[in-house]
Amino acid sequence: MDDDGGVAGRSGADAATPERAASAPDLPALDALVTTCRACPRLVAWRESVAREKRAAFRDETYWGRPVPGFGDPAAPVLVVGLAPAAHGANRTGRMFTGDRSGDFLFAALHRTGFASQPTGRRPDDGLVLTGVRLTAPVRCAPPANRPTPTERRTCGPFLGRELQLVAPSVIVVLGGFGWLATLSTLAEQGWSVPRPRPVFGHGAEVRVGHPDGRSLTLLGCFHVSQQNTFTGRLTPPMLDSVLLRAGELAGIRA
Ligand code: SF4
């Protein structure tokens, strides 16, 4: 264990707050802000205790143990929004969806559909390159039982809001109902014409929204790539491929 208790690096002294996200001039600045945030006491305690205690299989690794920034193409026309980092996945590796079964399922599909340079993504130094797609989450710290509270989602919201502005995708693939509501709320806050009542989440749901400045984008609903869904067959590889291919088609980057 290193001097920092097994965590890749942490400091309360220079911690960012989500309110500063709006002033980030670009994605590297936003990502740097995200990784120093300590705004949610419950999540800070959890992410760091998991990083100290570790899973036996990873006991020789130094966990990231911090908020996880988005990963992928900075000019992606397709943004994939999940839920939150997994305790022993992205909270260990520091790269979104990297190092767990959910990521294995997602990266294989991204490779089959032409968005990823290789079918696996298990370590930040594995050479994986995403083209046309960026992966992110409405909550950047691993939550206990994969369940952030509504307050934690709202607290973290400015990071997703600023990422949406900087990436400016034309398609957002949303994995699961939590991310669906978070994304719709963020878009509504930014003036997008999100219908009321809010469109209901479902696998294959497709919602087009416009902005007063003339832009438009499409949200695509997809069951989350969690083991709960993939091990039970609720979400199969062809189902995920179909949503990703539709995203590519809408974004104009697939035939
Ligand atoms: S969940 Fe978001 S707002 Fe809360 S501590 Fe993590 S990065 Fe900060």
Lowest mean pLDDT segment, chosen from 9-13, 20-24, 141-145: 9-13
How many angstroms does the Cα of residue 36 sit away from the middle of ligand 1? 9
Q: Side by side, which strands form the sheet with 171-175?
A: 71-72, 133-136, 78-81, 171-175, 216-222, 206-210
Is 37 close to ligand 1, i.e. is its CB under 6 Å away?
yes
Q: Is residue 223 part of a domain?
A: yes
Domain assignment present for 202: yes
Q: Does the CB atom of residue 182 touch ligand 1 within 6 A?
A: no
CATH of the domain at 168: 3.40.470.10
Q: Which residue range(s) make up the domain with 199?
A: 67-251
Distance 255 CA to ligand 1 centre (A): 39
From the alpha carbon of 18, which atom of ligand 1 is closest? 3
How many angstroms is it from 47 CA to the middle of ligand 1?
10
- 33 within some domain: no
pLDDT digits (tens, 9 = 90+) for 167-220: 999 999 999 999 999 999 999 999 999 999 999 999 999 999 999 999 999 999
Q: Is the CB of 38 under 6 A from ligand 1?
A: yes
Q: Per the domain annotation, does 44 fall within a domain?
A: no
Residue 190 near residue 164 (C-beta atoms within 8 A) = yes
Q: State pLDDT tens for residues 91-126.
A: 999 999 999 999 999 999 999 999 999 999 999 999
Domain count, the chain: 1
Query: Average pLDDT of 65-80?
Result: 97
75 is a domain residue? yes
Mean pLDDT of 64-88: 97
Name every residue whose Cβ is closer than 8 Å to that of residue 27 and which is 6 or more positions away in sequence: 70, 74, 163, 166, 167
66 C-beta closer than 6 A to ligand 1: no
Cβ of 160 less than 6 Å from ligand 1: no
User: Ligand 1 centroid vs 232 CA: distance in angstroms?
Assistant: 31
Mean pLDDT of 45-62: 95
Task: Find the 244 Cα to ligand 1 centroid distance in Å.
Answer: 28
Show the tokens assigned to 6: 């097994």
Structure tokens at 184: 């719709």
From the CA of 250, how far away is ligand 1's center (Å)? 32
**Residue 111: closest CA among 236, 241, 233, 221:** 241
| pTM of this structure | 0.94
Ligand 1 centroid, distance to 107 Cα (angstroms)? 25
Instruction: Please report whether residue 151 resides in a domain.
Output: yes
Q: Which of the listed residues 43, 44, 64 should we mutate to test ligand 1's pocket, taking the one with most ligand atoms within 8 A of CB? A: 43
**Residue 76 falls inside a structural domain:** yes
Q: Is residue 172 part of a domain?
A: yes
Nearest by Cα to 148 from 18, 21, 8, 46: 46
The contacts of residue 231 (CB under 8 Å, 6+ apart) are none
Average pLDDT for the chain: 93
Q: Which amino acid is at 71?
A: F
Q: Residue 107: name the closest of 88, 92, 122, 85 by CA.
A: 122
- Whether a cis peptide bond, with omega within 30° of 0, leads into 41 is no
